[in-house]
Structure 1
């Protein structure tokens, strides 16, 4: 994991994972988490997934994000009855990244030779390093999943945001390409929408990136407390001499630990019994969003402790802050909508 931290700034500057980071993540098994065991992957449970994604984000949130979206893309393949010949090709290398976008922003038209595909899919994280893309598409007016080699698609470099800059979440474009019918799952060959456990796993990977990034920010401020630095314009000889600073540090650590406990409890629930009813699904979504809010509050405490120097371009704290701020605004962590949904589920029960 030290390799990820050493190359996190390079990853951000490149706008995609540094080669050293990509190699380290592959060797750690981050891209095989949802590769089936039959193809050399781990097909890991939710607790293992959350642990590895969070540990990765502690050193480089962008790498963790790409690993989590690769997991989601490979998981989407289970929603379709794709032939073994295609799966053999997609999973030929169990550690290769994959990318995908579930939103059906493409259009396919069936013909005698396959499906003619046009469309644009935004926010395809890790697409420059992925061999395959799993894309939601409206084929002949019905939702379908289409599996396409990324080499057949155009990558439009549209990702220019404040955080997670190293994820390379660009747009994929299909310009009237022919896709063999075996690479299209629709109708009776498609199990969609996914079950609640699959959606919960997706949200869990988003939260794991946020929790891990917050732990990385804590590492930065704990190093400050271990140094000789003192609060500016005070008579204290170190940060640790200040009762206020110790209090703020304790609050930040407690908030991060609470978010981590929530994450692991949600993961254990997914592993224990995948059948999740509507009320519990809403409760889990709400708890996930509240864990993200804990992380946001923890980062605020950490920034206050560090002061303005934490925003220096060379300070990793500002990168953790920006990455966490963007990741925690993902729709899977939307606090007001999850509260709305939980309230609706409670009154309907």
Structure 2
């Protein structure tokens, strides 16, 4: 701790990102990356943007990323003024916390959820209260009725549980809290849920956030977006233009547009991940694991006879890494990213050996 640190920095407990180890022949199932490459159109679009001599890189990108906003709007039946784009969904979320959730009353989110949320609260001075998930790790919409003045945020499917909330339940939350922004963080929605984006046309307090890191296989490009009422989007734009007017570079814009426009590639990748997830769930269940129903590109599993931390270590010794959270209620669970069929077979075989 330095004497030059501000009090904000002194008080922060930073988010801990998923490990990116340098291990040979690693089976990496810890950060929910897509096991398949992005659409070939992405590389072609990036190469076209570079041109023959990359001279365009001397110029700033479009600060409004209009081509990307138009592509997102077409994809979801929205208008460009309903779309906000940023450097990954984490940056979009950061602006949401600053622009829309900093109110006089605490915001609400589940007690088991994306661990960046309390970090943003600490960074921006946002008060919050957590709402316990049910015993089966589902969100109960009634728990949010009449309690939220500062705003509500939750992932759907939730992370790290993978459990999904039905669209009608999200509508109930929005309807019961008309004076609070309801933020639905849909990083994993393409793997098994129904997007809440149609609700943004019925409720002016619903904001839906997507990322291209998961279902579009572009975690390395850093592109995210939000869709909601133009008034919500304007607030995000005001914060963005007071922070960084050029959050997306020229190559990210070009690649993201190409990824969004290749529906066939996107659908095929999602289909393969879902099929492998179902097989992995069956295989682990046969090994005695309790696997929560998942609508994401990961599963959340525990074994009644074996400690989760010890299982994670034993897998790591075999060059397979998964995510273990040392947190109340979930310290005996492992979050396992759905990899390729071969990777998941190797995981299941390693667990057979470990379990004896």
Give the alignment's TM-score, normalised by structure 2.
0.26
| Greater relative CO, 1 or 2 (CA 8 Å, sep 6+) | 2
Give the alignment's TM-score, normalised by structure 1.
0.26
